Amino acid sequence: MICKIHRKVLLLQKLKYNKMKKSPLQRIEELIPVLPGRDFELAKKFLKERNFESILELVESDLYKSMAHEDNTPDEYVSNLTELKGELTTYMSYLDVPDNSDEYDDY
C-alpha cells in the first residue's frame, strides 16, 4: 500500500515538473481539448488566429455554466477550466493583451 502511494506521489511530482518545463502556450494547447464540442473547435480556430481574448471568453462562459450546474459537473472539469483560464490570463499578461472580463460589471 505504501509503495502504491509513493509511486503516485512520484508520478504527480514528475507530471508537475514536466508541466513547469512547458511554455504557457503549450499548456494552453494541451488544455483546450477540455472545452466541450463547438467551444473546442472555436478555441482551436481562435488559437490559430492568436485571439486569446475570445478563448478566455469561451472558458469563462463554460466555467459559469459549470458552476450553475455544479451538482452534475465533475470537479476535474472545473479544475481544468480554471487552470486554462489561469494560463490564458498569464499568457495574455505577457503579451499585454487587455483582459476585458470586467467590461460589463457596471451594467
Three cell numbers written together for 48: 490559430
Q: What is the pLDDT of residue 107?
A: 47
Domain ranges of the chain: 22-95
> How far from chain centre, in Å, is Cα 14?
20
Q: What is the pLDDT of residue 1?
A: 42
Q: What are phi and psi of 97, to 5 degrees?
A: -85, 130
Q: What is the pLDDT of residue 77?
A: 84
pLDDT tens per residue, range 26-80: 889 999 999 988 999 999 999 999 999 999 999 999 999 888 876 677 788 888 8
Q: pTM of the full predicted structure?
A: 0.69
Three cell numbers written together for 13: 511530482
Q: Could you tell me which residues come within 8 angstroms of residue 91 by beta carbon, excluding any fewer than 6 positions away? A: 24, 25, 28, 52
